[in-house]
Amino acid sequence: MFKTYFPKANEVKREWLLVDAEGKTLGRLASRIAYLLRGKHKPYFSPHLDTGDFVVVINAEKVRLTGKKAEQKTYFKHSGYLGGWRLVPFKEMIQKHPERVIQHAVWGMLPKNRLGRKIFKKLKVYRGNEHPHQAQNPRKIEIEG
């Protein structure tokens, strides 16, 4: 009889992956990043373990949306006070904080529990071509879309 294999925490091998967001569609990019962060591409994936890789995203300001979403999409935030809600349009968000656009999309595709919060910390998003993770020697991967 066969038994299911679960890797130990010290047996999980983590890689650093580099993703260029230039010209990529936001949703397709975010779903692939979430897939890599969770470790679903590995043969020993288990839903209750963190088996994923670190993902570094560059050129966050060059991500695109299809259709009229660039004009119609808004981000909601609330201060916690009465009437303290605010809608931020996509155009404003991509100019001021392009990193948050990708982080928000990826966060929506991760589990909403302690494991999801731990996995989310392995996502590093930067505007422009430069990033401070050269020492980790990230492997560049190409994502379609």
Asked if residue 34 lies in contact with residue 116, where contact means CB atoms within 8 angstroms, the answer is no
In the sheet where 139-141 sits, what is the strand order?
A: 123-125, 54-58, 16-20, 139-141
What is the structure's pLDDT at 117? 98
Distance between CA atoms of residues 66 and 87, nearest Å = 20
In this prediction, residue 145 carries a pLDDT of: 73
Distance separating alpha carbons of residues 83 and 80, to the nearest angstrom: 8
Q: Is 46 exposed, middle or buried (0-12, 13-18, 19+ CB in 10 A)?
A: middle
Which pLDDT value is given to residue 3?
87
Contact 38, 107 (CB under 8 A): no
pTM: 0.93
* pLDDT (0 to 100) of residue 47: 92
Predicted confidence at residue 9, as pLDDT, reads: 83
Go through the domains of the chain in sequence order and give each one's CATH number.
15-64+98-141 (3.90.1180.10)
Q: Say if residues 145 and 28 touch (Cβ distance below 8 Å).
A: yes
> Amino acid identity, residue 137?
N
User: How confident is the prediction along the chain (145 residues), in pLDDT tens digits per residue?
Assistant: 788 888 888 889 999 999 999 999 999 999 999 999 999 999 999 999 999 999 999 999 999 999 999 999 999 999 999 999 999 999 999 999 999 999 999 999 999 999 999 999 999 999 999 999 999 999 999 998 7
Structural contact between residues 98 and 63, judged by C-beta atoms closer than 8 angstroms = yes
